[in-house]
Structures are given as C-alpha cells and as structure tokens.
Structure 1
Amino acid sequence: MTALIVDGRENVETCSAGTVHALARTVGCDLRVPLADGSECTYANFDLAASAPALECVYRQVEALLPTYASVHRGAGHASQVSTDAYEAARFDVARFVGARDDDVVVFTANTTDALSLLAGCVPGDTVVLDIEHHANLLAWSGTRVVEAADTVSETITRLVAELCSRPAALLAVTGASNVTGEVLPIARLAEIAHACGARIAVDAAQLAPHRGVDLVATGVDYVALSGHKLYAPFGAGALVGRRDWLDAGAPHRAGGGAVRNVTVQHTDWLPSPARHEAGTPNLFGACALAAACRALTEIGWGAVVAHERELTGRLVAGLSATGGVRLLRLFDDAADVLGIVTFTVDGLAPSDVAARLSTGYGIGVRDGRFCAHPLLERLGLPGGAVRASLGLCTGSDDIDRLVAAVAEIAAGS
C-alpha cells in the first residue's frame, strides 16, 4: 500500500504503476463550502470534465511570469524578449505533449471549441462526424455528414467506413473520448480508416488529453484540439496541433495585427501558420499555463495517472451499481477503455434535483443536464439529461466513498 498524494490529502491506495506525486496538487483542494443546514465541509469536486482546477505548479508558473510580462513578438525590450521566449517555448512543450511531427503546427486558441472552429475554416471539403459528439465537434463544420453510432464500437467503425467510402470527404472529426460516458474511441484505427478512404482525421481531445497520452506520430492522427481549462490550466488557452498545409491555405481565424507580413489598402499579405491564426495580443499566461500542465502530466507519468484513475473509477462504478434505483449510462457494449467519467440517473428524481441535493446537502459538485451533447442524450432516451460525476488527479478514495454514500441516501429518499 502506498500513500497516493492527489489533492493535498493522503489517501491509502494500491497503485501498481507507482505514486501520483506532489505535482498533482491542485489550487483550492481544501476549499470549504456551506451546506443547507448551516454547517460546512470540504468540497468534493466531481465536475472535472467541465473544468478542472489549476495545478499548483501551473499557478506558480503563471505567478513567476507576471514580473516580466510584456508584449509578445513585437517588443525590443528585455521583458518583451523574455515574454516572447516563454510563449514560443510553450508551443514546443504542447507539441511534445501530443507527440507532434516535426513539421506540425501548434496554434494557440481559446479552447477546444475555438480550435475546431479554426480548423473548420481550413477544411477543403466535407467533414464526417458521429452523432455522439460534443456540440463543439458536431456544429463546427460546413458540409457536415453525420453518421449514427451503433451499440458497439465495431459496428460504428463499419458505418464510418461505409460513409467515407460512399463519396469523398476531406475530414473525419471524432471525439477521443465521450464527454458523457468517458468511453474511448480507437483513434489509431480510425486514422488508418480515414487515410485509406482519402480523408484526414481530427480528434477532439478535450476529454482525452487530461486522462490518456495523445501521440500524433504513433496514432497517425492529423489534427488534435484540446483545452487548458480541462487540463488543469484554466487560464483561457487551448491549442490546435496538426499538419501545416491546410492551416497555411485556410482563411485566417481572426484578422488583425500579428497575422500579416504586409498590408496596403488594396492587398493583405498573410503570414503562414501559426501567426496566421493568432492575430492580436496573444494570451501569454494561458499558453504558458497550458505548457506547464503538459510538462506536469508528462513528469507524473501516464502509467501512474491511469492506474490512479482506473482504481477510483472502478470503485465509483461498483458503488453506484450496487445502489438501488441508480442507472449507469454507456454507449457501447465493447468499449476497451473508459475514462474517469460516470454518468447516471436516479429513479424518480430529476437530474437537477440530484445535483442540487448533492451540493447543498453533501458539499459535492457534479454536472447535470445534457452536457452539450443533446443528440447523444436523445439516443440514450434521456432528453431531460442525467448526472455526471467526473474525476481526475485531485480525486481521492474518500471522495468516491462520500459520493456513493450520498447518492445512496438520495436514492433511498433520505
């Protein structure tokens, strides 16, 4: 048995892949919140799939940059040079984190939604998507062709092959892991299929990247989009990483200073990527925070991260499965891997009521609703939504037990 340091508290856990160390400490891990009875307790955050708290090492990185903050790319002074170097170093760290190819481009964006919208403006043709996608990936594209997912990953792949082979498509855009159920799609296999059909593949890794390693070279994925606010770096930055040619040929994501080589009243000479899509003063702190989180997760090691998460997810699934009146949601019968996301309903209770009672009665934060994935909830027969509990580095076994006990009391009508 080893002491697993996850959020500033020691939790005794078995962790075959090692120990998640102090880099996993998050800001606000000891937050005290009020309860309806007038008492207070330590907050248990199970809404990490929406936004994760900042790692302490990320916060320190931002704090260290403040004294030398200045204009990026456009200043001759020392502070500007330091800021520019930090910004470009962040680009390198993000590229390394996702296993980018040497000639791939890292474009800093506001978040995953922004990154996918940027790519959508550069795609020279139709885009194929699944009906289980987050709205960011379902709504971004022009010329969208939607494929209905099946009850198995295997049959879903067969349907994608049929669609991609039916007529040419430029891009297959898929989630790396469902933001509703946490089920992971086989992106290396999907990349192989897309390429065989003459298409490229883009992966919405907003949920995947905080939980599993992403490697563009190993998987053959052409583009990946991710968000800092889900990756323990909530400072307003995300990234699009991928092949240069479409990004250099596409319309600039925003028009403005920094994205141009020369401007006359008759003509604009746009720079190549990434500057082409990063007009205006860049978010230095967001980019550097994102890079710091990437470095921290790499140093912690994916073996330790995955072992920690699987232990706790299994504990949560077992606890909720044994609770009468609770239904757990799944999309596929054959998903090989599932992230730390457990979505459920409680018989006879609206999801909003369950979430409110968990908050006011137990100091537990979850998400309720349709999770920006309305077609998926319709498929599951839940147009009114569900309750989502999502965990990560800052979750401990005591948090899991507390949530299971609270749901059991609510389900029993206590």
Structure 2
Amino acid sequence: MREPLSADEIDRIRGDFAILGQAVNDAPLAYLDSGATAQRPASVLDAERAYLETINSAVHRGAHTLAGLATEAFEDARATVADFVGADVDEIVWTANATDALNLVAYGFANATRGRGGAPARRFALRPGDEIVLTEAEHHANLVPWQELAATTGAVLRFVPVDDDGVWATDDALAVIGERTRIVAFAHVSNVTGQIAEVGRLVGAAHAVGALVVLDACQSAPHRPLDLRGLGVDFAAFSGHKMLGPTGIGVLYGRAELLDALPPFKTGGSMITTVTLEGAEYLPSPQRFEAGTQPVSQAVALAEAVRYLEAVGLDRIRIHEEELAERLVAGLEGIPGVRVVGPPSGVARSGLASFVVDGVHAHDVGQYLDAEGIAVRVGHHCAQPLHRRLGVTATTRASTYLFTTDAEVDRLLDGVARVRAYFGADGASR
C-alpha cells in the first residue's frame, strides 16, 4: 500500500487550485462540497483553453487539418478515460452527465421492450412482472429513470431497505434479488451516507439469475481506484465535474457486446451509417449513442483531470479521504445534539458525512458555516426517499477531496459545535 498524502504534498496540490486561496465572508475558504462539484486545477483549465485556442473544430466530420486534430484529441481523451476505469475505448460513451448516462440505459431498455433494435436487443426487453432491484438510498438519477421504465413496461420495482442510519446490508440485497430480477442498480458509494457497496457479491447474485448490473460510480470514480471490468458490472456512469473536470460531460461505461445491442434513444447526425427517407441504420458503440455535436473541449479537459488524478494516485487519495472521514465522523459524533447518518466511526466510508443538528434546520446550519467561510451542501442531496426514511427533510453534508486538510475538517467541527447555541437550540439563553 502506498503512503497517504503528506501535509507538504497537500499544500502543493492546493497551489494548483487558485479558487482555494480566496477568502469568503472575510474568512479563508474551506471548500467541503466536492461531493457536489469538485474544483479544477490549473492544468485542466489550461488544457481546455489550449484546445479552444488552437484546434477547436467539429470532430468526425471535416476533412481539414483542424478537424483531424480535434478528432484525434477527442478520441485520445476517450482512450485516457477508458484506461482510467479499466475499459476498452469502444466501451466508453460520452454523455452530458451521469444522469444522462443512466437515462440512456433505461430508455434503451424501454426501446428494446417496444421492439426496437431487433433480435440483438431482445435481451433488454422487459415483461410485466419483471423486477428492477434498487436500494432505498439511491440518488434520484438512479431512481427516477427506473420508475419511468417500470411505468412504461409493467416491470416492478423492488427495494433493498436501509436501517435507521441509512445503511443497507448486502445480505438484504441478496434476499431481494430473485428469478424475476432483470436489472440491479445501485451506487458504488452513497452520496449521502458514504457507504461503500460490496459490488462483487451483488454482481455475482445478479448474474446468477441473468440480471444486468448498473453501477452509479459518481462518488467512487473521483475518489478511489476503479476497475469496471474487474468489478464485473454491465453498465456504469460517472460525471466529469465531480472529478476535477468540467461540467457538461459524463461517461457511460458498458460492456461492448451490450452497447452494440442496446437501442439508442437519442438520434440524429453522427451516429448513423445510412439514412433514407424511410429509416436509418446506426453505427456500433460508442458512436451510436453520440448524436449531434459532442462536448469536445470538455472531453479533452476531463482527460487532463484523469491524468492529474493518476499522477497523485487514486489509492493515496482514497487513503487520505478515508482518514479525513474518520476524523470528521468521530468529531461530529462527539458534539452534543448532532446525529451523523451512515456508518459509524470505525467503519470504512468514503470521505463525506451527512448530519443533523437537533433543533436547527440544515439550511440554517449551512448559512452559519458559510458565514465562517466553510462551504457545505444542505438539503436532501437528491435522495428524498432516503431522507424520508431517516425522518428528516434535510441534512448538512461535508465532503472532502485530495486538497482537503485536517485543519479544514477541524474548522467545520468547531463551527458545528457552536451552531445550537447560536440558534438557541441548546436550551441556553443567548
């Protein structure tokens, strides 16, 4: 195992992020919201700007020099991202974001159920009573598309329950997966609790009954080594803006033979072989899913973000964040009137923690911390069913990344410790 990031290394990393050097509300910025959107280092910003200033052009279309160079940069970026997650280049599809990627898969199943895609697509067709297995902890992006698919096809949604801390058990998931299961979709890492799923056991159980596995990797791809082929999942999705890259680009991974058989749901130019007035024939993956003008400069920037992460080392980033998570959770658990959701201290989790402050709404907690220059996320984090199960409307979430320091976590803990008194929720008069 490689050594965790040293304090000197983190200081050097922070120097690559100009935004971290500013003051917010007359206090040094402590950015603890990378789980929503991560900041971008100078090299990523420079890579996109250099592309736009030197070779910006339409890809896979023009015959001139700039078009050729742009296409080469676009496809080199695909290869870089493919290597990053243990995939082949034809298994990586550019999308607008992870939500778009998950919708692509769900609507592909819907189109197959309607008879689109011919014989190769029949493996995706659903019948009334077929089951789609999810957990109660899913982000809306990995819930609502499957709700729509069930409503369209007559399939049934089955849910793995969570406990009072918002954590679900692998054994409970295995009990839900059965002979009628056709799809198993879950987050590798929960964006609310930080729980890390046992992917291998779930994949084995799903494949044993002929089901396909869809992995939401939004909170794992930026933070820990990821080998999608090694994990055995059939599809996976993640976003560029959570991993030092730009907004407007996401990634869908799919096993090549599945992508080549899945019917597209976005159609138009650049994804076809032949078009007549009566119909069209589609290219193989990945181009069959990339209709219209693509996010080319964003792909170039995302590839640079991948190179940055690889240079630091995803295993070292994972260790650093898990150590921060332990410091964060243990500290929050020690503050009276604060309840942390998710695994308790001492249990491995990703580098984030969501919590409730008794008597104080999460939005007020966030505003109090913001006044001290500490940026956190407040709300239901696009996971309303999970929060409803926890009996709260909202939580405050602090999330870390490779540039987060122990001192920033301690600033958060100090701020949270004063919140109840500030709002008079501790029973003392102000």
1:353-368 equivalent positions in 2, closer than 5 A = 353-359=364-370, 361-368=371-378
Distance 2:225 2:81 in 1: 12
- Asked whether the equivalents of residues 168 and 198 of structure 1 are also in contact (C-alpha less than 8 Å), the reply is no
Distance 2:300 2:182 in 1: 33
- Asked whether the equivalents of residues 370 and 386 of structure 1 are also in contact (C-alpha less than 8 Å), the reply is yes
- Structure 1 pair 105–23 and aligned structure 2 pair: CA distance change class (3 A): farther
Match of 1:405 in 2: 414
Residue 385 (structure 2) pairs with residue 375 (structure 1) = yes
Task: State the Cα distance separating 1:149 from its structure 2 match.
Answer: 2.0
Task: State the Cα distance separating 1:184 from its structure 2 match.
Answer: 0.5
Residue 27 (structure 2) pairs with residue 41 (structure 1) = yes
Residue 363 (structure 2) pairs with residue 352 (structure 1) = yes
Match of 1:18 in 2: none
Moved over 6 A (4+): 152-155
- Asked whether the equivalents of residues 167 and 193 of structure 2 are also in contact (C-alpha less than 8 Å), the reply is no
- Asked whether the equivalents of residues 181 and 206 of structure 2 are also in contact (C-alpha less than 8 Å), the reply is no
- Asked whether the equivalents of residues 181 and 211 of structure 2 are also in contact (C-alpha less than 8 Å), the reply is yes
Provide the aligned length of Structure 1 versus Structure 2.
391
Residue 40 (structure 2) pairs with residue 54 (structure 1) = yes
Cα deviation, 1:204-243, whole Å, max 9, x if unaligned, reads 0011111111112321112110000111102311100111
- Using the size of structure 1 for normalisation, the TM-score is 0.89
Q: Which amino acid aligns with 2:221?
A: A
Residue 197 (structure 2) pairs with residue 171 (structure 1) = no
- Structure 1 pair 346–128 and aligned structure 2 pair: CA distance change class (3 A): same
2:304 to 275, 280, 292: 292
1:167-246 equivalent positions in 2, closer than 5 A = 167-246=179-258
Distance 1:246 1:178 in 2: 26
Unmatched segments (≥5 aa) in structure 2: 110-123, 151-155, 423-429
Cα deviation, 1:267-313, whole Å, max 9, x if unaligned, reads 21111111111111110111112222222212211232122212222
- Asked whether the equivalents of residues 201 and 223 of structure 1 are also in contact (C-alpha less than 8 Å), the reply is yes
- Asked whether the equivalents of residues 30 and 408 of structure 2 are also in contact (C-alpha less than 8 Å), the reply is yes
Q: Matched residue of 2:263: which SS?
A: coil
Q: Matched residue of 1:202: which SS?
A: strand
Q: Matched residue of 1:170: which SS?
A: strand
Match of 1:13 in 2: none
Task: State the Cα distance separating 1:334 from its structure 2 match.
Answer: 11
Match of 1:342 in 2: 353
- Asked whether the equivalents of residues 182 and 340 of structure 1 are also in contact (C-alpha less than 8 Å), the reply is yes
- Structure 1 pair 204–154 and aligned structure 2 pair: CA distance change class (3 A): closer
- Asked whether the equivalents of residues 218 and 238 of structure 2 are also in contact (C-alpha less than 8 Å), the reply is yes
Q: Matched residue of 1:412: which SS?
A: helix
Residue 39 (structure 2) pairs with residue 28 (structure 1) = no
Q: Which amino acid aligns with 2:82?
A: A
Match of 1:128 in 2: 133
Which structure features the higher share of helix residues?
2
- Asked whether the equivalents of residues 133 and 184 of structure 2 are also in contact (C-alpha less than 8 Å), the reply is yes
Cα deviation, 1:57-102, whole Å, max 9, x if unaligned, reads 21121122122111111011111111100110111111111112x4
Q: Matched residue of 2:8: which SS?
A: strand
Q: Which amino acid aligns with 2:297?
A: F
Unmatched segments (≥5 aa) in structure 1: 11-20
Q: Which amino acid aligns with 1:61?
A: A
CA RMSD of aligned residues (A): 2.3
Cα deviation, 1:151-202, whole Å, max 9, x if unaligned, reads 399973333333322x333221110011001111011221111111211211
Match of 2:9 in 1: 5
Residue 64 (structure 2) pairs with residue 68 (structure 1) = no
- Asked whether the equivalents of residues 122 and 249 of structure 1 are also in contact (C-alpha less than 8 Å), the reply is no
Instruction: Percent identity, please.
Output: 39
Cα deviation, 1:134-154, whole Å, max 9, x if unaligned, reads 000011121252313243999
